[in-house]
Amino acid sequence: MTAIGVQAQRMLVPRRPRWTFFESFIRTLIILCAALAVVLSSVSICDGHWLLAEGNLFGLWQFCTIHGQAGPHCLRDLSQVQVPGLAVGMVLIRSVDTLAVVTAIFGLGFLMVSQVCEELHVRHKWALGSALLLVSFILSFVGLLSFVVLLRNQVTLFGFTLMFWCEFTASFLFFLNAISGLHINSITQPWGQLRKF
């Protein structure tokens, strides 16, 4: 095969799209922020103490009553707490929030693979990772909203703990990174070109 034939064959083979420095920098920032959101959400769910109201500490895993110097008295059986539907509600909230973290980890994995892979469909992987982050936002927001609705009689603005605000921040970051990721994909390559692959 002649040198011209080899060059012509190389031109026909589709290549990984080239990214500018600015685009790579933005994508790296999105990945770092998504990783931060995963860490914040994981820590918030593992600790689980989200609301302090009238000497009571409501958490995803347990309920604690604070008795001055005696220290907190905690119950893991949430059915003993005088809040209707608390036990079942917390199981659902825990499940939804945990699923949000797992989905975000998969989304983050797709985002990272799209940065280091040398194949044609890296933009599809990036779009899939961003879509998974959007699903994580929806799940995590549903968990937060369910928690507030379930404990609406005890909720005060200053009663929310640092762990609740960590989960709120993580949820916001999931949304921001998902929308940013989808947006940068759409402005750097039109949908018409994506369909060709």
Per-residue pLDDT tens over the stretch 87-136: 899 999 999 999 999 999 999 999 999 888 766 678 888 999 999 999 99
CA dist 196 and 120 (Å) reads 11
Q: Give me the domain span that covers residue 27.
A: 21-52+83-188
In a domain, 195, yes or no: no
In a domain, 66, yes or no: no
H helix intervals, the chain = 3-12, 21-47, 86-116, 122-150, 162-188, 191-196
Per-residue pLDDT tens over the stretch 134-185: 999 999 999 999 999 999 888 888 899 999 999 999 999 999 999 999 998 8
We report the CATH number of the domain holding residue 107 as: 1.20.140.150
Number of domains in the chain: 1
Residue type, 162: L
Contacts of 102 (CB under 8 A, 6+ apart): none
In a domain, 70, yes or no: no
Strands 49-53 and 72-75, bridge-based pairing: unpaired
Tokens 């779009």, located at residue: 127
In a domain, 150, yes or no: yes
What values do phi and psi take at 121, rounded to 5?
-95, 35
Per-residue pLDDT tens over the stretch 14-39: 444 556 778 888 889 999 999 999 99
Closest CA to 120 of 196, 58, 28, 175: 196
In a domain, 177, yes or no: yes
In a domain, 161, yes or no: yes
CA dist 106 and 112 (Å) reads 10
In a domain, 2, yes or no: no
Higher per-residue confidence, 9 vs 166: 166
* Token digits of residue 156: 């005060």
In a domain, 171, yes or no: yes
CA dist 189 and 197 (Å) reads 12
Rounded to the nearest integer, the mean pLDDT of the chain is 83
Distance of alpha carbon 91 from the chain centroid: 19
